[in-house]
Structure 1
């Protein structure tokens, strides 16, 4: 079976690209796997995460479906406006519809390649694929990596009139993948579809685990507004008044580095909160911590949270949809009501820091929870979906 994953770019260090590499590498033993990148000149050599050499990686340059000059101008304008209004650039002015030229190129290419299954990775590629579904013979699947609230209940958008495009096109797809049961319920109700739930898999397993006795917090993610590290710093400032011995290490890079550095200085926490940048050996940082902080404003199914559980780290997160089913409050972590803000988050940090017994209990529960996301459990769901075995996929 020839399976194609339609992506934007493989070059960025992101949770989506990490999942693509994990799933692709796992499936290549069984299928002929292709990855087509629509906005990358040389995806075969410029990859954020290692791919099995048996995977065929193709560039959009050969497809001639790169954004038109007008679309690139719209994207540039969108970034400028969104940065001014909403802290971070988005793609509010980027059209979701394919141009006539791009539509023709995609149809022609996918007919020639004759894939058995094409998976559109994330929002824009899923919608693009849906727009040509009736003109190509392949089974077409959308794979959503954001949850409903982050797509439709915040000022950011992937493209102009996003809800309209979902309602018009998403039903054209043969299947649509979401990350958890709660998101399935919301997507199905909003767009009259019957989506499938396939969680992200763990990216590694580790015999060495974190020590609950450590007095260190860790957070991992791009330094972006959506990740909420500004809230983490404010919460730590409150927490630090009582717990002078604890430190916090934030791994990742992004546009908000300078702003976060200034915020740390304003609180006088330069010796307690450390922006570590991107790190290759993330596991060593996990091992040195005892609690994982997830202050995000919204997420899909964060890979870093799965990694933290694999290392035995209890989590503290706000009550976003991504935490449903992932964190059980008081069992493997703490879920903070958004209305309680940074004060509530600081209180949760205090509860875990003040009780080694609680950290040990949550450490054990986190390790148990991580088993649900092992590749051995996720891979059969992908196989069932690709081979259209409905009962196995839904079980």
Structure 2
């Protein structure tokens, strides 16, 4: 019977156990005990070649008396793959994605005057180019601290509201690994400013009736072109928002000039002015014209060049420029020695004079697009000559 040849002394064998390759270490090197080095490789031709190379390496170490009896030197080296964290965008980048999604659902003026402004504040903050540690609630507090020191209280509060909405969106859409927005409740931490808000809708300082009439007369007689006069008189007599006035067309006015339907606005947007369907607080509203307004419309109508064009235009027949108008506005008020107020006060003046005339707040609200509650809350305290009655 032919004997199976014995492995020579110092020879490392390659074998398979349960389909996995292993190396057999000579017993003479292991105190007479059989030791195996499992390579963690599937038994196939390619891996057999790898195992043979490893066996030859061990044999060479045995030959040159540098064999490692612990076998640690020969064990397969684990490739350490760094943990891949999900890519994390900066807060400014995340907010930019958020406002792009919101862009189609808000008015251009709102997107430009609110969302883009908040983005610019973020971009100039120390957090613009950093990966936000949104898991750390202290990160949101740091942003609040910075905003409180560098922005007005109102702007700071709005920024916190915007960031909270952004992170809620990011959480719900799985863009961040959070269960809630870290900016939740931050807006309530902003200290409220004591001075009166300068928002156009609530900064109410109306002109008196005599001041109103003097301003209208000055624009009528002191300028070669009558476009400014038409605009000023219309805003004072109708009480609409400037954006609504400059968007009005003759198609929005009934043939007998008895009513005006406001349904559009022209607002400042990225790249210039933009016409928007709908109004600030409603889709449309109807204004009943009194004789004062009808006479003004007839006067404007006599100079119009188109039955479908804009009612109030620039001197070149284009969209009325409220920015150019402001220069003339300042000049007239200075000449009349009347305290400066923004042109938006024409709206507040109309509402206040209607209240002085005894009109019901509900009716006034319908004319100007406000609720009766807003009329009572914001205008009742501005009535001229208000005194306690004898009771």
Decide: shared fold, TM above 0.5: no
Question: Which structure ranks higher in relative contact order (CA pairs < 8 Å, sequence separation ≥ 6)?
Answer: 1
**Is the strand fraction higher in 1 or 2?**
1
Greater gyration radius: 2
